[in-house]
Chains A and B, each alone.
Chain A
Amino acid sequence: GESVGLHLPTLSVQEGDNSIINCAYSNSASDYFIWYKQESGKGPQFIIDIRSNMDKRQGQRVTVLLNKTVKHLSLQIAATQPGDSAVYFCAEFAPSNTGKLIFGQGTTLQVKP
């Protein structure tokens, strides 16, 4: 079956550095991907999305890269701030999933002051 996974459970970075969070997916039919941020005690919050017809999309301080050849997704956060400390989830959507998102396990980002 399909699965979405993140390569590292915890990532620790220095404030001001760039962060890269990785995600692997296995369903080549997936055509839409989302990154969510979940702060402690809160529900997941949408950060950025990308469709399979794109390989890069930029938001405010965040960039998502999609490599369909190796089924890999990454989230880059520029100039990481203490407020970026959270758990980050990737999720994939395939039309065959009848509307369901498949979530990865999550990576905890810790920002050191």
Chain B
Amino acid sequence: DVKVTQSSRYLVKRTGEKVFLECVQDMDHENMFWYRQDPGLGLRLIYFSYDVKMKEKGDIPEGYSVSREKKERFSLILESASTNQTSMYLCASSLRAVGGREQYFGPGTRLTVT
């Protein structure tokens, strides 16, 4: 079974702090994704990566950056957290060989910025 893990289930940070969200997958997937999920807005793609050191902006990249130094790990960085970044953050991965269609999700990190 594919396993996608996220470093924290719940996180509380203060406005202006630098926040790191870590995601690790154990199935050698090339593609990795970061989403945020908000009531009424569904899942919105922040950034994705097709390979190590590669990254592409999703639909809402402002205020975020990412890092992919190793194939299994994809980090989301909030350079200076703001209250409007309070949300559920979901990481996902998929296998390029099958077209990258089926994405497997981690359990999510609920981030609160106060």
Contacts and interface: CB of A to CB of B under 8 A. Distances in A.
Interface of A: 32, 34, 36, 41-46, 49, 89, 93, 95, 98-101, 103-106
Nearest to B6: A43
A104 B100 contact: no
A94 B50 CA distance: 16
B89 to A, nearest CB: 10
16 contacts: A32-B99, A32-B101, A41-B107, A42-B107, A43-B4, A46-B102, A46-B104, A49-B101, A93-B101, A99-B48, A100-B33, A100-B48, A100-B58, A105-B40, A105-B42, A106-B42
A38 to B, nearest CB: 8
Given A100-B45, A103-B43, 10 more contacts: A32-B99, A34-B101, A41-B107, A41-B108, A43-B4, A89-B42, A93-B101, A99-B94, A103-B42, A105-B42
Contact of A34 (B40, B90, B102): B102
A42 B56 CA distance: 26
B42 A43 contact: no
Nearest to A5: B42
B25 interface: no
What is the size category of the interface that chain B forms with chain A?
Answer: 20 to 34
Contacts of A46: 102, 104
Given A99-B31, A99-B48, A100-B48, A45 B105 contact: yes
A104 B99 CA distance: 20
Contacts of B96: 99
A99 B100 contact: yes
A101 B99 CA distance: 11
Interface in B68-92: 90, 92
